[in-house]
A and B are shown apart, each in its own frame.
Chain A
Amino acid sequence: MSDTMDETVETMFIQHFQEESRPLAYYLKSMDGYKTVKKAFGMSQDDIIGEMKKSWLRGRGGASFPTGTKWGFIPKQSPKPKYLVCNADESEPGTFKDRDIMRYTPHLLIEGMVIGGFAIGAHVGYIYIRGEYAREAKLLDEAIDEAYEAGYLGKNILGSGFDFDLTVHRGAGAYICGEETALLNSLEGKRGEPRVKPPFPAQAGAFGGPTIVNNVETLASVPFIIKNGGDWYAKLGKLEKSGGTRLFCVSGHVKKPGVYEFASGSVTLRQIIYEHCHGILGDKKLKAVIPGGSSAPVLTADEIDVIADIEPMSKIGTMLGSAAIVVISEDYCIVKLLRRIAHFYAHESCGQCTPCREGTRWMWDIIERIEAGHGRDQDLQLLLDITENVGMKTLCALGDAAAGPVASFVKKFRADFEAHIRGGKCPNA
Chain B
Amino acid sequence: MVEKILSKKFYDRMKKLEPRYPTKVALLIPALHAAQDETRWLSDAVMDEIAGYIGIHPAQVREVASFYTMFNLKPVGKYHLKLCTNVACCLRGSDEVMEHLEKKLGIKCGETTADNKITLMEEECLGACGTAPAMMLNDDYHENLDIQKMDRLLSSLE
A95 within 8 A of B: yes
- Enumerate chain A residues within 8 angstroms of B22, measured Cβ to Cβ: 81, 207
Whether the pair A190, B126 counts as a contact (CB closer than 8 A) is no
A219 within 8 A of B: no
Query: Per a CB cutoff under 8 Å, which of A95, A96, A172, A332 touches B33?
Result: A172
Beta-carbon contacts under 8 Å, A255-303 to B: 257-259, 290, 294
- Enumerate chain B residues within 8 angstroms of A341, measured Cβ to Cβ: 87
Q: If A189-B28, A337-B90 touch, does A172 touch B20 (CB 8 Å cutoff)?
A: no
B26 within 8 A of A: yes
Beta-carbon contacts under 8 Å, A158-209 to B: 165, 167, 169-175, 186-193, 207
| 5 smallest beta-carbon distances between A and B, as pairs | A172-B68, A251-B129, A189-B28, A173-B69, A173-B70
> What does the 1/0 interface line of A341-365 toward B look like (CB < 8 Å)?
1001001101000000000000000
B14 within 8 A of A: no
Whether the pair A174, B68 counts as a contact (CB closer than 8 A) is yes
How many angstroms from the CA of A90 to the CA of B86 in the assembled complex?
14
A93 within 8 A of B: yes
Q: If A133-B127, A192-B67, A192-B68 touch, does A94 touch B23 (CB 8 Å cutoff)?
A: no
- Enumerate chain B residues within 8 angstroms of A193, measured Cβ to Cβ: 67
> What does the 1/0 interface line of A239-256 toward B look like (CB < 8 Å)?
000000000011111000
Please, could you name 24 A-B residue pairs with CB atoms under 8 Å apart, sorted by A? A132-B123, A132-B126, A132-B127, A135-B141, A167-B21, A169-B29, A170-B30, A170-B33, A171-B29, A172-B32, A174-B67, A189-B23, A249-B129, A251-B87, A251-B129, A251-B132, A252-B92, A252-B129, A257-B130, A294-B86, A324-B129, A326-B91, A340-B85, A341-B87
Q: If A251-B88, A328-B91, A348-B124 touch, does A257 touch B64 (CB 8 Å cutoff)?
A: no
How many angstroms from the CA of A188 to the CA of B21 in the assembled complex?
9
Whether the pair A131, B129 counts as a contact (CB closer than 8 A) is no
> What does the 1/0 interface line of A113-153 toward B look like (CB < 8 Å)?
00000000000000000111111000000000000000000
How many angstroms from the CA of A189 to the CA of B123 in the assembled complex?
23
Number of A residues near B (Cβ < 8 Å) is 56
Whether the pair B130, A258 counts as a contact (CB closer than 8 A) is yes
Whether the pair A94, B29 counts as a contact (CB closer than 8 A) is no
Beta-carbon contacts under 8 Å, B87-108 to A: 87-88, 90-92
B99 to chain A, nearest CB (A): 14
What is the chain B residue whose CB lies nearest that of A95?
B127
B125 within 8 A of A: yes
Most buried by A among B22, B30, B69, B129: B129
- Enumerate chain B residues within 8 angstroms of A90, measured Cβ to Cβ: 127
- Enumerate chain A residues within 8 angstroms of B150, measured Cβ to Cβ: none
CB < 8 Å A-B pair total: 144
Residues on A close to B: CB < 8 A? 81, 90-96, 98-99, 130-135, 165, 167, 169-175, 186-193, 207, 249-253, 257-259, 290, 294, 324, 326, 328, 332, 336-337, 340-341, 344, 347-348, 350
How many angstroms from the CA of A290 to the CA of B23 in the assembled complex?
41
> What does the 1/0 interface line of B117-144 toward A look like (CB < 8 Å)?
0000001111111111000100111000
Whether the pair B88, A252 counts as a contact (CB closer than 8 A) is yes
B71 within 8 A of A: yes
Whether the pair A337, B87 counts as a contact (CB closer than 8 A) is yes
How many angstroms from the CA of A328 to the CA of B70 in the assembled complex?
30
In addition to A95-B127, A131-B70, A167-B21, 12 A-B residue pairs with Cβ atoms within 8 Å of each other are: A91-B124, A93-B124, A96-B128, A134-B139, A171-B68, A173-B68, A173-B69, A188-B26, A189-B28, A252-B91, A257-B129, A257-B132
How many angstroms from the CA of A93 to the CA of B91 in the assembled complex?
12
Whether the pair B130, A250 counts as a contact (CB closer than 8 A) is yes
Whether the pair B69, A174 counts as a contact (CB closer than 8 A) is yes
How many angstroms from the CA of A344 to the CA of B27 in the assembled complex?
29
Whether the pair A172, B71 counts as a contact (CB closer than 8 A) is yes
B101 to chain A, nearest CB (A): 17
What is the chain A residue whose CB lies nearest that of B19?
A165
What is the chain A residue whose CB lies nearest that of B23?
A207
Whether the pair B87, A340 counts as a contact (CB closer than 8 A) is yes
Query: Per a CB cutoff under 8 Å, which of A81, A91, A259, A332 touches B125?
Result: A91
Q: If A131-B70, A252-B92 touch, does A347 touch B127 (CB 8 Å cutoff)?
A: no
Most buried by B among A81, A169, A250: A169
